Amino acid sequence: MSRSLILLRHGQSAWNARNLFTGIRDPDLTERGIEEARRAGKALREHGIIPDAWFTSALQRAYHTLDFALQEMGITDLVITRSSKLNERDYGDLSGLNKDDARQRWGDDQVHIWRRSFDIAPPGGESLKDTANRVLPWYERNVAPLLLTGQTVLIAAHGNSLRALIMKLEELDGEAITNREIATGVPIVYKIAPDGTTLSVEELRPA
């Protein structure tokens, strides 16, 4: 049985392009983002990886990424489950601010702590730990049982909601995850053992 899990960060959004903190705000994909999503679907198809089940967040940059990727795989007659549990980490009061402006105002170190620390939340927002506390129970309930039956599952979501999953799948601690950046539109394929642990990890980067 194949038993693969594919994590896909959405393609470039209009706010990624403008370097704005996005969080649970809801900008759509740019043309480049659409192209990245299509390329991700094509890469999966070319590697012979066709998901049996798929999930995405309640934010359009993620669910449109899933739509475009599945289209490339020829999967069009489908039901899509959107869950807000997979939404991006809430950036609170930083949402909508330019990341360079924020560095100017609060300093590089403080902004880096807000963006990449494990348990320090930005003002009014969620820490990665808070995000993991909603993402991981959702994963155990909805995805782990499908993997156990040998299904291949695709999750299209966000930098930080995926980071929470990656911590679990790669057994990274709060320190190690701070250096893990996730490219937009690059599928990360995990082969999963029968006991739910990770056997291998591969990123399908465009040639």
The residues pairing with 201 across neighbouring beta strands, listed in sequence order, are 190
Provide the token pair at 138: 């959702």
Annotated catalytic residue 158? no
Closer residue to ligand 2PG in complex, CB, 4/118: 118
Q: Give whole-number Cα distances, 103 to 97, 116, 180, in Å.
A: 10, 14, 20
CA distance 68 to 51: 14
Annotated catalytic residue 47? no
115 half-sphere exposure, CB direction, 13 A CA radius: 20
Marked catalytic residue, from 10, 36, 64, 126: 10
Among 6, 8, 11, 22, the residue binding ligand 2PG under the rule CB under 6 A is 22
Q: Which of residues 133-162 bind ligand 2PG (CB under 6 A)?
A: 159-160
Residue nearest to ligand 2PG (CB): 22
- Is 25 annotated for ligand binding? no
Closer residue to ligand 2PG in complex, CB, 35/148: 35
Closer residue to ligand 2PG in complex, CB, 21/54: 21
3 half-sphere exposure, CB direction, 13 A CA radius: 17
Q: Tell me if 55 contacts ligand 2PG by CB under 6 A.
A: no
